[in-house]
Structure 1
């Protein structure tokens, strides 16, 4: 079932945030003011309040999958599954660790940015993504390493959004209470570069993150991938050139994005954390292999919660 995106723009010193939440929860909206002073970009430093930077959570619409309704024709678990390998029997069995599975394209000149500068931004964006989605401290609820990788003038607001719980998964991945990683996170995806109207670089990251979780799971749950939570994120980060922009604007700024989740506990997901379903599931991957593929549209994910 197609997701219904909502829009939110990061607030700054003079702009208000416009909030959108997952389609399965109540949506609150606040108007945002029109930008002013954009035409003086060339000759003046532009403070944070004048940038049209959008929140990653802005169009981040969460599609959660209920394995009980998504799985088709449950069958007995395969005796060949390796109990010590949570990826066994799933497409993720062939995936690389997340830091190796994200493909960075060859850097080429883009707008006012040289090929070398684009390459640097691509590398830094990948580092930001890995901090957000795989750093052990971030997974445990401490977003410091991610927040410090962002532009100075968005750090406080982003941290507030993460800590609040409402916007957490729009920026970073947190694990639910009682859950840890049972193995290294695997991932597959790519980065792409475009330029914006203010000469900024916009890096779009389309990644499938596969989290093998150790922690509470009903004894009746069986089958391949039963301990995997799949999080597919399409995120963007904006980087502004040093010329014409203030120092506090330099660095990664979260932009538009959306996400979909498979085999997750709905109540915990809606509170900003990943956890395994609290009710028994059998062979959750059966018939849903496409959720592991980066080219699968998020609107094609089966829906549950």
Structure 2
């Protein structure tokens, strides 16, 4: 069809410009007009025919112009027909759903950063987790990878602190979240030294010493999992290098010129049995809500640049109930159940629109609707 279009266009141009042999009648009329012109019987300028000849010239030029424009236009139409995605937007409805989404519906692209509380649980996602794609079938597949999911708000001066000091407090908050929930050493049982030595205020009564004691000798009333994510390397191994992260950080002016920082984050861990030949994949979901404070050293006896923990809550999905050895124990189909069976209500661990409760350490271990 393209070749026919080009051939027809070239033929029209040749036809419009090629000379034609006049008919016998045309020759007789031409001769009569020439004789009348010689005798002076025709007005001057009769040959110019400003309307007829000018119109014919314009028609020829118009045909030539449309031929010049038509060829590249037809070529562009052919290219777009073969690949509609070259057009901006989605004029023909060809979007496959790989873009981002700001809602909780089904999608495959990464979610935008969470800037406000979510209003509903995310929709179900198709797929089955594998060693190559451990987050398949989970809303976490659209979460950010690791620390990229900890998006800090823009700092501004608050209370007794300058913009730069508030920015420092927010960075300290990020360091706490990373070291406690994302650092590979911490996840495999190491002590989160950044949290204990560089972030938390040693002048906060007994907090740092108490956390170190919990890590050394965990128990029901001394559970380090309330603040740290840790797994037993003799039982499970981490699948890949990614922990999926979603949440938000906010801050406001506190009492006596302090900066109060609130964090609410969900961390999703992909795990497999420690046996290197096993292909089973399980996921454990941990949500942490923590209130931190940077107090004014002029009014409170604190360490400048350090944070105090005011409140912390946690919600763990797919881990053994009533086991207090300092490690999370994901339920594996290839292993015997560990701990007591779930006794609490069924909850969706990906529903970030729900409140995870108060600071009680005796929350019931519930059944999860999905992992």
Instruction: Verify same fold: TM over 0.5.
Output: yes
Cα shift readout 1:169-217 (whole Å, capped 9, x = no counterpart): 1221111242232121110011111333243222111000001112259
Cα shift readout 1:203-238 (whole Å, capped 9, x = no counterpart): 111000001112259x9x97xxx5110001101222
SS of 1:127's partner is: helix
Q: Which residue is 1:180 aligned to?
A: 237
Q: Which residue is 2:150 aligned to?
A: 102
Matched, 1:294 2:319: no
- The aligned runs of 1:47-196 (5 Å cut-off) are 82-143=130-191, 144-149=193-198, 150-153=200-203, 154-165=207-218, 166-178=222-234, 179-183=236-240, 184-196=242-254
Matched, 1:227 2:274: no
SS of 1:291's partner is: coil
CA spacing shift, 1:267–1:133, aligned 2, 3 Å:
same
Equivalenced residue count is 216
Q: Which residue is 1:241 aligned to?
A: 296
Q: Which residue is 2:264 aligned to?
A: 206
Matched, 1:303 2:359: no
Q: CA deviation at 1:276?
A: 1.3
Q: Which residue is 2:16 aligned to?
A: none
Report the Cα distance in structure 1 between the residues aligned to 2:127 and 2:138, rounded to whole angstroms: 14
Structural RMSD (CA): 3.2
Cα shift readout 1:73-124 (whole Å, capped 9, x = no counterpart): xxxxx88755521101110111111201122112222211222221221111
Larger helix share, 1 or 2? 2
Asked if structure 2 preserves the Cα contact closer than 8 Å seen for 1:128 and 1:146, the reply is yes
Q: CA deviation at 1:168?
A: 0.2
| Unpaired segments ≥5 residues, structure 2 | 1-125, 336-345, 358-363
CA spacing shift, 1:257–1:134, aligned 2, 3 Å:
same
SS of 2:366's partner is: coil
TM norm structure 2? 0.51
| Unpaired segments ≥5 residues, structure 1 | 1-77, 282-287
Q: CA deviation at 1:293?
A: 4.1
TM norm structure 1? 0.61
Q: CA deviation at 1:277?
A: 1.1
Report the Cα distance in structure 1 between the residues aligned to 2:365 and 2:156, rounded to whole angstroms: 37
Asked if structure 2 preserves the Cα contact closer than 8 Å seen for 1:208 and 1:293, the reply is no
Report the Cα distance in structure 2 between the residues aligned to 1:195 and 1:162, rounded to whole angstroms: 33
CA spacing shift, 1:196–1:80, aligned 2, 3 Å:
closer
CA spacing shift, 1:196–1:86, aligned 2, 3 Å:
same
CA spacing shift, 1:115–1:171, aligned 2, 3 Å:
same
Match of 2:320 among 255, 265, 284: 265
Q: Which has the higher contact order (CA 8 A, sep 6+)?
A: 1
CA spacing shift, 1:167–1:249, aligned 2, 3 Å:
farther
SS of 1:151's partner is: coil
Report the Cα distance in structure 2 between the residues aligned to 1:116 and 1:79, rounded to whole angstroms: 45
Q: Larger C-alpha radius of gyration, 1 or 2?
A: 2
Asked if structure 2 preserves the Cα contact closer than 8 Å seen for 1:201 and 1:240, the reply is yes
Report the Cα distance in structure 2 between the residues aligned to 1:231 and 1:132, rounded to whole angstroms: 12
SS of 2:185's partner is: helix
Report the Cα distance in structure 2 between the residues aligned to 1:141 and 1:79, rounded to whole angstroms: 31
Report the Cα distance in structure 2 between the residues aligned to 1:289 and 1:247, rounded to whole angstroms: 40
